[in-house]
Each structure stands twice: as structure tokens, then as C-alpha cells.
Structure 1
Amino acid sequence: MKHCIIIGGGIIGLCSAYYLQKEGHQVTVVDQFGMDSGASYVNAGYLSPSHIVPLSAPGVMKKGLKWMFNSSSPLYIKPRLESDFLKWVLAFNKSCNANHVKKAIPAIKSISLLSQDLYDDIKQAENFSFHYEKKGLLMLCQTEKMLEEEVKTAHLAKREGLDASEISLQDLKTLEPNVNINVKGATYYKCDSHTTPHEFMAEMKTYLQTVGVQFLLNEKVEDLTVDNGKISEIKTNKQSLKADEFVLAAGSWSNLLSKKLGLKLLLQAGKGYRINTTQTTGIQIPSILTEAKVAVTPMNGFTRFAGTMEIAGINHTINSTRVEAISQATTRFYPNVELTQQEKQNAACGLRPVTPDGLPYIGKSSKCENLTIATGHAMMGWSMGTATGKLVSEIISNHPTSLDVNIFTPDRRF
């Protein structure tokens, strides 16, 4: 049995804690906040094997440059003269090629499908009651050009063995009889499911506390002491802590800590926003408003509209222009749904850790033998959370891993 300290109490940190304690390890989770906000709480709640194409796909950089000076665009990269940012942009640009996409698809599909199964297993094993539905995901398109792109992606997903298809407007009306949808066409991924994130997080925290996992909240890890290629202790703003193994699952803050180990984790914070409404929208099936890149999720007692990727450093400033863009997109696609001023004012944001190649960092680095890194999942943290936690536990317990993790190595070069 090892004492493991997990730095970060988001979805990845909690799932790592869950599987490590199942293996009999003593686990402490250190989080710089109160573990009640951030990306793990404001995401769209998707478990989406459909999202097999990485963020760094051909044409994305070109779009990003076009959108760079439009603060309401779906992908907003704020230009800044900062070494880490410039290195990340160059690596991202290099990754936007068809060969990378081809290599990434099987890895993304495998970890997403495993994660979906593990959500099922956890819910059953622990008798959890968090909201979890398997209704699929609609990709709604307002232009012929976007519909053509989405049909190609659906065919690609189908070739990968996923349940994906183009559907007619009549099929769409049958699936969504209670809402007026303004679109040219849609594709449908039956393979996807969705949850209400804060319910899972609350149940998981309660469970972990009952089985002896220790939580140190509002403690920021400020330094790491390394001796002979191993971390001997970490220093928080309150105390020094020793352990046998450490897990770096600090999301967008991970690269700040990794620098102290001489690790060059290329990572940028990608801010996403969410607006919740308790209005009766009539929406029953999660959907993505493709042109606007807005995710719509019917959650337990409310509907969530989430989206945008704003790469502008670590900050939690709510940009009202981007909130308004989500609201306007909602009404363009659902003419009878109008978000109120109060709902927009109550918008929240979260920072998603984005790697240059759209693949997470999972595994040990040659720089430090008792550190396992688990970060960089971008918009797929919720989809990949349980599988990442299981892989972390297998790596630390020296078990064969459920999936080949070589493609996720933190030591990969860009």
C-alpha cells in the first residue's frame, strides 16, 4: 500500500482517488479551491465517444486565426507575447494535420468508450443516484456546408463502429416533438449519453470521504522538493506533505507546477461558459449547435447551454460578449427559447486544460519516477474522467493498463 497525494480535486482527481483507494492505497486530495466550482461543474455533462476527432484537426488553426480578433467567435485565441503561449501555438499548428487525426481517433474512441462503461460500473457498484441518461447526441446544422462536414464525420464514426447516422428533418421532429428547431439537417449519435455533473461530483466526494480519502481544501501547492529524481515532499500555503506517489491532476494549473520539475508540459487554459435555465424548453436530447459550437444539455431540473473555447490565459473573468454569443445562438437554433437577462448574468465559466495535439497527458515522465500526470483533456475531461482515473491507479499499482497509454505520454514531443 502506498500513500498517494493527488494535486487537484476535479473530475480527474476524484476518479483517480476512487480507483486508488479501491486498490488499497491511502489517498489525500489537495485542492487550491473549495471543490465546488470550475470546469468539472460547468461542463455540458457529455459522455461522448462521438467526439473522436481531436481539437487539433486540419483547418482549425486557419479558423482560429480568422476568429482571433472576434471576441464572440466559437474559438477565440487572445494573441499575447508570452513564451509558453507561442510555443503552444506553434505545436498546435504543427498538430493540425490529417496524419495526426488518423492516429488520434482510435485512442480517443477507446478511452471514451471505456470511460462510459466505467460510469455505468461506478453507478451500479456504489448505488449512486446521479442523473445519467442514454439518449444520444444530435449535431444540428443550419448551413449545407456544415451539414456536409458533419455527415462526413458521422460516416467516419460509423466506420469506427460507433452508432452514428444522418437523420431527416422528419426524424428530428420525431426525436424532438416538443421544441421548434431551425436547422437544415442533423446527424445523430446514439452512442452518446449525458449526466448532470454536480450530482456525480457530490456523490463521489461523499463516497470518498466515507472510505477514508482525506481532502485538503483551499490549499495551494506552491513548491515541490525533488531528490534523486523523486518528489520527497510538496509545500502548500499551509504545510509540507510527504507521500510515496503523487498525481498531478491540477487541470489548467498543471504546467505551472510541472515547471518546478523541469518538465515542459505545453498546456493552455481554454475557458468555457455555461448558462442554465429552469424554463420549460421542451428539449429532451442533448445537441450541439454546430456553427456556434454550443452544447445543449437537458439536465436534472434545468437545461444547460455551454460552449466557446477562449484561450486567454488563466483568469475567471466573465466576458459578456461570449455569454451573449451563446444566448443568441440558442435562439437562432431554438426560436422559442430565449434566455433571460438574469440567466445570462448568472453565467459561470471553467478553465479546461488544452494540449497542442488534442490528446491528454496520462502517465509518468522520465523526469520524475513517483509522479503520474493526468491532465490536458480539454473539452473531454468529463468524457474521459473515469477511464483516466483507472489508468492512473493501474500505473501507480504497477498493473497492466486497460489501454495502451503510450500515445498519451507527457514526454511526447511536438
Structure 2
Amino acid sequence: MSKKCVVIGGGIIGLSCAYYLQKTGHEVTVIDQSAMDSGASYVNAGYLTPSHIIPLAAPGVMKQGLKWMLSSKSPLYIKPRLNADFLKWTMAFNNSCSKENVAKAIPAIRDINLLSRDLYAAIKEAEDFSFQLEKKGLLMLCQSDHMLEEEGHTVALAHKEGLPAKMLSAEEVQQKMPDTKLNIKGAAYYECDWHTTPGEFMQEFKTLLQQNGVQFLKNEQVTDFEKQGEKITKVQTQSGGQIEADEVILATGAWTGTLNKKLNLNILMQAGKGYRINSTTETGITLPSILCEAKVAITPMNGFTRFAGTMEIAGINHNINKARVDAIAQAVPRYFENVTITEAEKADAQCGLRPVTPDGLPYIGHTSKWQNLTLAAGHAMMGWSLGPATGLLVSEVINGTKPSLDLSVYNPDRKF
């Protein structure tokens, strides 16, 4: 039976939900407070990453984060502040930085990444899209013996999870990218990973959805909800709109926590800011590469190279921190001695806010508070990678069909 589905959030997660819902016959409206042309879905590294099986909340991360608070250029920065939601999240994050959380998260992250990666390919074929989708793998470039050892452990873990990966010498990496001048000791190479140019996909996706009858309400902020018993009946917007809803999908990313009070939810979420620098200069970098010690991601996109990095948990804002942009730019020539990022390219840097849950796993599924509310948020640095899979899972929840994956680990009502 066709339902009126209101998707709040027009990023990759929200659009993916809209895609699979309209394909199964529902009437879909997408509401977004922006013009739907910027933010994390547009400035990310474009990775489809089954290799990223270790969640952000892992042993030692909180301790390292506390050390990095003293540096304005650190890859991870958690800004201390007297805010109740932040303090609750911090306590839950600290509790989640455990071996038990990692063990629980690894198969969940692997499975949803593999599903989503393959769905990108399926969408491209089914819809005759032309966006860049390359299956070249991912290099984890290391400059220290310590980092090589850590990556070796992760490669061994990936093997146990059935993911193709191997360690490479510096010479072997240089052979793969002969037009670069590398300064590394070696690398881990994950053959299971793919990459894209996000802006291309988002544009094709939006055009298709509108052609298929999905309605977009841009620059429109949700202000409240009309409820009847345990159901949401209408979504209210700042312009006075009243959108009828049989089903509501909360795909608001880093802003999910701001609607908590309106819906009496207890969703722990913090915004994690990331930055990107684009360069049209020829770099010779032909394989997606992460500079391990610096935590900088490099992607050869369609017509340019993207450099991305940092996780800055400092509230919801789009302020550009020049020190963090400089840190990304300065890290690149330490690994690729032939590459320089210009002042003009740094000045053009943009940022996006990624929604971070305490345990590093997204919220996907119904909540116990409302019969017709489904959450699809909290994907942290893997939002781009997990978009299509999340959309498919949400459509299966709403359609009452058997989910493609076990959703218990993503339960929005889980305790930390």
C-alpha cells in the first residue's frame, strides 16, 4: 500500500531513502534546510570503504583525543564545553571505546559497507548514470614502523573478515603510482574499496528523483510535529507548511539531535566537522590514499584531486578553521614530495558536518517512541559509503519486509 513518506534531510542518506521508497510505490517528500548543494555529502572523500571495519570508538581513542586537544592542528579535536548533550555523548563515547564495542561493530560495519558498495554499482547500471565509480582499492600510506605494524594488524583482521588486503613495500607502492615521488616506508592495500566523485552522483540522483515524482522542499526548516497518540501525523515547517505523513524518516545527519526535544527522543549525536581541499594541478596520484599518521585522505576524482581530513567535534557550525586546513595541506608534501597545495586552493577549502554516535555505528530503524518514525542517521565518516544500503534498509522497515541485514546492532533505542 502506498504511503505518504516524509524524509527530513536531503543528503546522501535522505536521498537514498527517497530512492528506494519511491521505487516501492510510495509518495515521497524530501525536506532540507539547505539548498541541497553543499555539506558533508558533497565535500567528503568519496570512498566506498569495506576496509574501514574499526569504529571511531575504539580502545585508546579517547586518551589520544585528550592529548590532541592541546594541538590546533590535530586530526581529532573534541572541544570541551559545558553542554548537557555533549557531556552525555562524551561519557557514552568513552564507555564505547572498548574491545567489546570493536568486536560487535566489525561484522556490522563490514556487511553494511559491502552491501552499500554493490548498490552503488547496481544504481549506476539500473539508472544509466555516468558518475565516476572506480574499483582501484585504497592505500594506507605509512611513514613509521609503528604505523606499519598497526596496519599489518588491521590487514590480518580484514583477512579474517573475508576482505582482500595485503601489505606493500615502498617500492611496490611507487610502482603503482610511478608519476609521484613518495616518502613512505610501506602501505596496506585494500583491494575491496572503490571511489567516486560525490558531486556527480548527487546531481544525477536529485535529477532522477525529481523526474520520478519525489518532491523537494529546499531551504525549509522543520520546526515541529503534529501527533496523534503514538503517531506523527504532520510535519510542520518554518514557512507554515503542514505536510501530511504516514511515515517520517529522520535523515538529518548532524542536526538529528536538535529535533530530540520535539519528539521526546534520547538520541546521542555530535557533529564532527571535516574539511576538503580541491586541486586541479596534476599530482600523479592515481589511487585513493590515506596518509596514516596525518589522517588525511586523498582521492583522484573526475577532473581534480581531493584532499580531506580532520574530525572536529565542536558543535554545529560551518566556521573554517585555517589551522586545520593548513594541517591537511602541510601533510601532503611530507608523503608526496612532488605535490604542493597552493594558497588559493586552501582559501577555497570547504567543510561538512558528519553525525557521530557514541559507538561509531549509525542509527537505523524504528524507535519505540513513535510507530511511524524511522531513523537513518549517525554514519560519521562513512555516510557517503553507507548511503544506498541505509536507504534500502529503511524502505524494508517501512514496507514490513525482511531486512537485508540484521538491524539489531543499529537499533536507535540502544543503550551506551
Q: Displacement, 1:259?
A: 2.3
In structure 2, what residue type is equivalent to 1:138? L
- The 2-side partners of 1:208 and 1:108 are apart by 28
Asked if the contact 1:276–1:302 (Cα under 8 Å) also holds between the matched residues in 2, the reply is yes
Counterpart pick for 1:303 among 297, 302, 305: 305
Once the two structures are superposed, residues 226-265 of structure 1 have per-residue CA deviations (whole angstroms, 9 ceiling, x without a partner) of 2211111111111111110000001000111132111110
- The 1-side partners of 2:55 and 2:227 are apart by 34
Once the two structures are superposed, residues 280-330 of structure 1 have per-residue CA deviations (whole angstroms, 9 ceiling, x without a partner) of 000000010011110000000000000100000000000000000000011
Counterpart pick for 1:324 among 301, 323, 326: 326
Q: Displacement, 1:218?
A: 0.3
- The 2-side partners of 1:389 and 1:71 are apart by 37
Counterpart pick for 2:360 among 332, 339, 358: 358
Partner residue in 1 for 2:157: 156
Q: Displacement, 1:198?
A: 0.4
- The 2-side partners of 1:72 and 1:54 are apart by 22
- Identify unmatched segments of 5+ residues in structure 2: none
In structure 1, what residue type is equivalent to 2:271? A
Once the two structures are superposed, residues 67-126 of structure 1 have per-residue CA deviations (whole angstroms, 9 ceiling, x without a partner) of 112121000001101110011111000000111101110000000000011001000000
Asked if the contact 2:271–2:353 (Cα under 8 Å) also holds between the matched residues in 1, the reply is yes
Partner residue in 2 for 1:190: 191
Q: Displacement, 1:42?
A: 0.1
- The 1-side partners of 2:260 and 2:182 are apart by 46
Asked if the contact 1:4–1:25 (Cα under 8 Å) also holds between the matched residues in 2, the reply is yes
Once the two structures are superposed, residues 134-193 of structure 1 have per-residue CA deviations (whole angstroms, 9 ceiling, x without a partner) of 000000011111111011001101111001111112211111111011111111000000
Q: Displacement, 1:28?
A: 0.4
Runs of 4+ in 1 over 4 A off after TM superposition: none
- The 2-side partners of 1:147 and 1:168 are apart by 10
Partner residue in 2 for 1:42: 43
Q: Displacement, 1:225?
A: 2.0
- The 2-side partners of 1:267 and 1:330 are apart by 31
In structure 1, what residue type is equivalent to 2:224? D
Partner residue in 2 for 1:120: 121
Whether 1:400 aligns to 2:402 is: yes
Deviates more, 1:125-134 or 1:222-231: 222-231
- The 1-side partners of 2:267 and 2:332 are apart by 36
Aligned length: 414
Partner residue in 2 for 1:241: 243
Asked if the contact 2:20–2:391 (Cα under 8 Å) also holds between the matched residues in 1, the reply is yes
Identity %: 64
Counterpart pick for 2:391 among 366, 385, 389: 389
Asked if the contact 2:169–2:185 (Cα under 8 Å) also holds between the matched residues in 1, the reply is no
Asked if the contact 1:226–1:261 (Cα under 8 Å) also holds between the matched residues in 2, the reply is no
- The 1-side partners of 2:73 and 2:238 are apart by 37
Partner SS, residue 55 of structure 1: coil
- The 1-side partners of 2:201 and 2:303 are apart by 15
In structure 2, what residue type is equivalent to 1:227? Q
Partner residue in 2 for 1:409: 411
Whether 1:106 aligns to 2:117 is: no
In structure 2, what residue type is equivalent to 1:2? K
**How high is the TM-score relative to the length of structure 1?**
0.99
- The 1-side partners of 2:105 and 2:139 are apart by 23
Within 5 A, what are the aligned runs for 1:60-99?
60-99=61-100
In structure 2, what residue type is equivalent to 1:160? E
In structure 2, what residue type is equivalent to 1:74? P
- Identify unmatched segments of 5+ residues in structure 1: none
Partner SS, residue 369 of structure 1: coil
- The 2-side partners of 1:359 and 1:291 are apart by 24
**How high is the TM-score relative to the length of structure 2?**
0.99
Whether 1:349 aligns to 2:351 is: yes
Whether 1:274 aligns to 2:276 is: yes
Partner residue in 2 for 1:174: 175
Partner SS, residue 223 of structure 1: strand
Partner SS, residue 101 of structure 1: helix
Counterpart pick for 2:335 among 309, 333, 353: 333
Counterpart pick for 1:375 among 374, 377, 384: 377
Partner residue in 2 for 1:4: 5
